[in-house]
Amino acid sequence: MFVSVVLVLLAGALAGFLGGLLGIGGGLPVVAALSVVLPTLGVPGSAVLHVAVATSLAAMVLTFVSSATAHIRRGSVLWATWKRIAPGMVIGALVGTRLAARLPEEALRGVIAVFCLVMAGQMGFRGERVRPVTDGEQVPRSPWLIGAGVGIGALSSAVGIGGGSMTVPLLVSLSAKPVRAVGTSALCGLMLALVSTLSYALAASVPSRSLPWGTVGYVSLPVAALIAVGSMSMAPVGVRVAHRLSGTALKRVFALFLIVMGALIALGG
């Protein structure tokens, strides 16, 4: 039990740091850690991945409160962009949580592993596009951002991530500065995590008596609280590091993270 608690706290600390640094919820390492820990806490094998995903998203609520608040204070949020993409994410989150309950573990694992590797290639290892020089910062305002938000919300809620691994590359490709893309992503992730958590709490198909005490639907509240303790302490640290890195360095760190997490998920967490 002690080892399980320590592992969950460390996973939470990593999630918080990554949330501040990259605008993500740290869901991939948390889901990987929980897939190992949850069986020792009495979660039946048929529900392990779903409880891991739902609990990861629940912990992200507080993680994103910490990282989003820090980014808002530093003026890193593109509010006009957020107003367009966030509503789509809410819709997508509701759809994704319903679909996830019907997907087998192998399907979820394959989807996220392939996604991580594809996005790593797009984000960190393609050549820079030559853009015209402008006096002001580019603020993405396309109405298509609503549709993009639906897709991001659906996939993110299904696999237990905060959406930053899609939102950040999307906004950067639309000429937003990387650090502002990260800040906007953090605030979007807060809404996505909150809606997804509530949906997973109402969507469990496993009898409640077969799940450990403190589990509401698929959400393990005690485990989510442990993750949050670790994550909230490290999120501001990640924000400070993000503001010290160049745009190119930030994108390459993000790409490396995606490659490592994709490999871990593909190998079974």
The yes-or-no verdict on residue 60 having pLDDT over 90 is no
109 vs 45: CA distance, rounded Å:
15
Residue identified by tokens 């994410």 is 89
pLDDT of residue 118: 73
pTM comes to 0.76
| Residue 225 lies in domain | 2-266
| 4-55: pLDDT as tens digits | 788 788 878 877 777 677 656 567 778 877 888 888 888 887 788 888 889 9
pLDDT of residue 267: 67
Q: How many CB atoms lie within 10 A of CB 70?
A: 22
The yes-or-no verdict on residue 135 having pLDDT over 60 is no
The yes-or-no verdict on residue 126 having pLDDT over 70 is no
| 115-125: pLDDT as tens digits | 677 767 765 55
Backbone angles phi, psi at 220, to 5 degrees: -90, 105
| 222-243: pLDDT as tens digits | 999 988 888 777 877 877 887 7
Question: Is residue 248 within 8 Å of residue 30, measured between CB atoms?
Answer: no
DSSP 163: S
- Highest mean pLDDT among 3-7, 90-94, 126-130 belongs to 90-94
Output the average pLDDT for the chain: 79
- 22 by DSSP, 3-state: which? helix
Number of domains in the chain: 1
The yes-or-no verdict on residue 207 having pLDDT over 70 is no
